[in-house]
């Protein structure tokens, strides 16, 4: 924003010049013969420009005025006590005072829940939408819900970063997608609680609203357990550490999405319960897979799911279900006759091993309860069969490389809701095995949208509403390839590019070079 005057207006009500003695009625001021003072010119301001933020705001109405920046004496005040946490956080970040419930004065920020004339929450706009108004050296952030207010404060924080000024005018903003996630594989590689908390703070400023923890796999089980302590690895998160992570995420309006992947990827459980390992007709062990014909396997997994119900109070669970090795062979019924027999006994004479795996997934969905939204990897959904995955299970679409791979449109045509984990763009796999390459922010920024579910080609735009959003995922296949700090640096720009495309999937207005420069300025 360019100003045509060379000063910042003061916060008082005077003109900013002179002592005020010239107008005294008792004549004890300046001589009455002094020439009258010429009026000071009214500042003239250029029309404001849209704020520079990541993700970019969707709409800005420009206006003329000085804008706003934090200064001495400024406060953050609220119109509703429920916004006290948002206000205190912003006040601390901008070095302002928290003023409680109060009307704003010049230099202040006021946070409020938008209400209609009847005093009830105002309809129109989702819970994550907000309006940010800068006028007369006051900032007002209003939203239908607390999440929207929080996102408005993130916009303001970025506007004034590095000595910047929040431009005069009105921002009206809301996300294109309701699921904006980041997932970290803490099973193959132990990440400290502090590192995870730092990512939550970073993600919150970028308006992400999910962080996934893949904490159980063949290599390790990384969260303390009371029901089955025998499966927990030496390096793990305590329950108190997890509670702090969950609480911090909630403060940033983020949901922690836990994942216990099953019936494959259970090597850490099998290490403590070798009798549960799946074996083929020749007696050969199948790595990471439990024998789902054995009731004990289900009992242990359900014990863990129910135990963590209190630890993860958020609305979502990821149940995994990918890469069950019994279904990666050409003839599962011949290779694993015990699974084929169990499928027929439970589901009828026409049932196959894939039907038994589907029943396993549905049973785990029941174990986490009806109040949860649940998702599973796309290769846990099968074509045909005598049973199908429960309708409430969302598809986490990550690849089309599995045997019998199904195109994304098949799931969408069936009416499924999908979360995009496209491994072509959104998979950061340590060590880059199996032809993976570290994703670049530029490629995401310039080529990817949420419609690109598999490979590089988008699905028809008519399915846009069924694609709930996307998750950028870090997988630690070769765990020693990078340190925690190297991972944080490596995902920095991909996370920012993904945030931009989930908030507004249209072509960005800034070039990639401009976007990088902006990221460097606002932190």
Active site members: 323
Output the CA torsion sign for 486, 488, 494, 497.
negative
**In this structure, what token pair is assigned to residue 405?**
């791979």
CA distance 449 to 425: 10
Are the C-beta atoms of residues 422 and 451 closer than 8 Å to each other?
no
User: How is the chain split among helix, strand and coil, in percent rounded to 5?
Assistant: 35, 20, 45
CA distance 521 to 499: 17
Question: Among candidates 173, 159, 195, 187, which has minimal Cα distance to 68?
Answer: 159
* Tokens 């934090």 -> residue: 70
3-state secondary structure 343-361: HHHHHCCCCCHHHHHHHHH
Are the C-beta atoms of residues 72 and 48 closer than 8 Å to each other?
no
CA distance 494 to 516: 11
**In this structure, what token pair is assigned to residue 209?**
């609203």
Output the CA torsion sign for 330, 334, 337, 340.
positive
Q: 456 CB contacts (<8 Å, ≥6 apart)? A: 424, 447
Q: 103 CB contacts (<8 Å, ≥6 apart)? A: 77, 110
Element (H, E) at 366: helix 353-367
In angstroms, what CA-CA distances link 415 with 221, 282, 464, 465?
34, 41, 12, 11
């Amino acid at each position: 924003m360019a100003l045509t005057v060379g000063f910042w207006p003061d916060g008082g009500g005077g003109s900013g010049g002179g002592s005020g003695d010239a107008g005294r009625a008792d004549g004890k001021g300046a001589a009455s013969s002094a020439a009258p003072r010429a009026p000071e010119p009214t500042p003239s301001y250029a029309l404001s420009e849209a704020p520079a933020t990541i993700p970019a705001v969707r709409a800005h109405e420009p206006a003329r005025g000085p804008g706003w920046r934090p200064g001495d004496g400024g406060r953050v005040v609220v119109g509703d006590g429920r916004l006290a946490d948002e206000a205190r956080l912003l006040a601390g970040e901008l070095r302002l005072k928290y003023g409680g419930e109060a009307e704003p004065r010049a230099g202040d920020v006021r946070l409020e829940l938008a209400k209609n004339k009847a005093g009830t929450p105002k309809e129109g706009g989702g819970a994550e939408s907000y309006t940010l108004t800068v006028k007369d050296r006051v900032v007002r952030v209003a939203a239908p819900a607390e999440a929207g207010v929080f996102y408005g404060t993130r916009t303001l924080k970025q506007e004034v970063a590095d000595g910047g000024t929040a431009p005069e005018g009105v921002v009206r903003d809301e996300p294109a997608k309701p699921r904006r996630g980041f997932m970290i594989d803490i099973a193959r590689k132990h990440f400290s609680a502090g590192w995870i908390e730092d990512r939550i703070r970073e993600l919150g400023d970028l308006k992400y609203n999910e962080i996934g923890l893949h904490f159980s796999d063949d290599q390790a089980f990384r969260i303390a357990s009371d029901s089955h302590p025998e499966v927990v690895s030496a390096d793990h998160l305590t329950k108190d550490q997890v509670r702090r992570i969950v609480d911090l995420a909630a403060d940033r309006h983020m949901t922690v999405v836990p994942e216990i992947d099953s019936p494959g990827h259970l090597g850490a459980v099998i290490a403590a319960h070798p009798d549960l390992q799946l074996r083929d007709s020749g007696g050969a062990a199948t790595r990471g897979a439990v024998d789902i014909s054995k009731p004990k396997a289900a009992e242990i997994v359900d014990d863990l799911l129910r135990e963590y119900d209190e630890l993860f109070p958020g609305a979502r669970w990821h149940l995994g279900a990918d890469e069950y090795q019994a279904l990666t062979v050409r003839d599962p019924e011949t290779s694993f006759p015990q699974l084929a027999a169990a499928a027929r006994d439970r589901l009828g004479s026409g049932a196959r091993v894939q039907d038994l795996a589907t029943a396993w997934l549905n049973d785990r969905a029941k174990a986490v309860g009806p109040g949860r939204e649940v998702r599973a990897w796309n290769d846990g959904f099968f074509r045909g069969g005598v049973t199908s995955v429960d309708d409430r299970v969302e598809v986490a679409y990550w690849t089309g490389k599995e045997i019998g791979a199904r195109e994304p449109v098949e799931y969408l045509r069936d009416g499924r809701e999908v979360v995009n984990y496209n491994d072509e763009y959104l998979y950061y796999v340590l060590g880059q095995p199996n032809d993976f390459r570290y994703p670049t922010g530029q490629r995401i920024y310039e080529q990817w949208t949420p419609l690109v579910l598999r490979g590089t080609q988008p699905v028809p735009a008519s399915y846009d509403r069924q694609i709930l959003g996307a998750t950028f995922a870090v997988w630690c296949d070769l765990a020693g390839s990078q340190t925690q700090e190297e991972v944080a640096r490596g995902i920095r720009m991909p996370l920012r590019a993904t945030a931009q495309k989930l908030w507004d999937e249209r072509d960005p207005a800034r070039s990639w070079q401009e976007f990088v420069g902006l990221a460097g300025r606002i932190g």
